[in-house]
Amino acid sequence: MSWGFETDPEFQKELDWIDNFVREEVEPLDLLLDSPYNVADAARNRLVRPLQQRVRERKLWACHLGPELGGQGYGQVKLALMNEILGRSVFAPTVFGCQAPDSGNAEILAQYGTPAQKKKYLEPLLANEIVSCFAMTEPQGGSDPTTFTTRAVQDGDDWLISGQKWFASNASYAAFYITLAVTDPTISAYKGMSMFIVPADTPGITIIRDVHLAGRKEGGHGHGYLNFENVRVPADHMLGRPGQAFVVAQTRLGGGRIHHAMRTIGEARKAFDMLCERAVSRAVQRGRLADMQLVQAMVADSWIELEQFRLLVMRTAWLIDKENDYKKVRKDISAVKTAMPKVLHDIVTRAIQVHGSLGLTNEMPFVEQLVSSLIMGLADGPTEVHKITLARELLSEVTPATELFPSYHRPRLREKALAKYGAAPQAAGGL
């Protein structure tokens, strides 16, 4: 049996190229441009398009997709190694053609889309000529599907969609929305909802407002609060069959969660590197911050937590590749999702503390990173839900004791040991 953590030398060359390319060419875009999703922004296109072309020429474009869709069909382990580099930059996923929510929406269209849907929506989405939006959650109940009230009623060959959607990322920039709506209210929400492609220019859609995260500029990335009023959608714009929305959604949610975790490694490592540089650079009364034991403890704790999390992510990625079924790795993905926000939050908080007042200003990225850690605790399902999922999965694998005392009760185990080996021999000296 062989066991190792080495990366294939040929792929390591690609990772080295990605690392240098992101640092030198892509990260500066974060300081100059507003949103990676605004494909109508001439300044964005002037800077981003040439970089995307270089990625294509390197054959690193949309690597999560199969060759038939222009990607490399990389498994999750390779994607994890890539994404922890891309996670350092807001623009890097777009430059590499794997930005959320477009990556997940592309997977849905690739698996469930008709040839006509793929031609009209998937092809330009993969080329980043357009961007998309996943409009699922609702203002009255968040991501809990049992509270969804958006309805789709059949009207001849069309469906009429009415209701509201909340935190629909990229709504202002999107060419189309992938939207969930109740099509049969008489049965379970998990079987009575359907998924639709809704062109953004369809009459009846109103963006009530763009919701922006606290501390972020309003010209950048926003999350739409949408109102649908008798929005007419052709029947051929349904994804999958009626009532199949949650089966279709799992195509993107499992992968989306693990990809968030991969990129969070990069985000956390960036904060850790800044923490370390500040520690060795900042002079205080008795030397450097790096010479102070409490700062040393911050550095040690941060490194351990980050490496533990990275190993959990890599193991989960390996399991996804091995099982090729997100359901079989459900508890592992939930564990990753649960650990992710705390790791980022704790490392960033320590980095802020070591930077002092500078760390709290918009001249440093830490407050935005802190907000990102809170987002990770809510996006793709709150941490509490994933903890419950993990616990239920783990406990379902445990056999309950059938006798009065537990199976590990020492008197009972001693009886079994005596039955197996007989009386224990006396030790020397009568002990």
Inter-residue contact 255 to 104 (CB < 8 Å): yes
CA distances, 151 to each of 148, 185, 286 (Å): 8, 8, 66
How much is the pLDDT for 220? 63
**Mean pLDDT, rounded, for 19-42:** 95
Q: How many CB atoms lie within 10 A of CB 276?
A: 18
Q: How far is Cα 392 from Cα 388, in angstroms, rounded to an integer?
A: 6
**Mean pLDDT, rounded, for 263-275:** 97
How much is the pLDDT for 431? 46
Tell me: pLDDT of 215 over 70: no
What six digits make up the tokens of 218? 């309003």
The proportion of the chain whose per-residue pLDDT surpasses 70, expressed as a percent, equals 95
**Mean pLDDT, rounded, for 236-265:** 86
How much is the pLDDT for 244? 92
Q: Which domains does the chain have, with CATH numbers?
A: 9-99 (1.10.540.10), 132-243 (2.40.110.10), 247-396 (1.20.140.10)
What is the per-residue DSSP string for 143-188? T-GGG---EEEEETTEEEEEEEEEEEETTTT-SEEEEEEES-TTS-
Instruction: Return the DSSP state at 119.
Output: I
Q: Give the start-end residues of each E strand in 249-335.
A: 283-284, 287-288
- Give the lowest-confidence range in 83-87, 98-102, 225-229, 427-431: 427-431
Write out pLDDT tens, residues 371-415: 999 988 888 788 999 999 999 999 999 999 999 999 999 999 999
Mean pLDDT of the chain: 92
**Mean pLDDT, rounded, for 171-179:** 96
